[in-house]
């Protein structure tokens, strides 16, 4: 089955493993190591901290 093209230059991939914020992904073109960009990682981290505080204070 060919990989689905999302937009020019990008191809769908799957995360097959994680370790210490490092991800192993696999696509039709092979297996790669990846990590989330700093700005996105900081943004999602602040969302989870905010959610945890809301649950704790409920």
CA 44 to chain centre: 10
pLDDT at 15: 93
Task: Provide the domain limits for residue 43.
Answer: 5-57
Give dist(CA 52, CA 4) in Å, integer. Answer: 36
What is residue 41's three-state secondary structure? helix
Count of structural domains, the chain: 1
What tens digit of pLDDT does each residue of 17-41 get? 988 878 999 998 899 999 887 787 7
pTM of the model: 0.53
């Amino acid at each position: 089955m060919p990989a689905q093209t999302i937009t020019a230059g990008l191809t769908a991939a799957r995360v097959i493993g994680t370790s210490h914020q490092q991800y192993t992904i696999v696509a039709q073109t092979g297996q790669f190591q990846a990590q989330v960009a700093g700005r996105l990682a900081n943004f999602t981290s602040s969302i989870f901290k905010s959610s945890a505080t809301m649950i704790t204070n409920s």
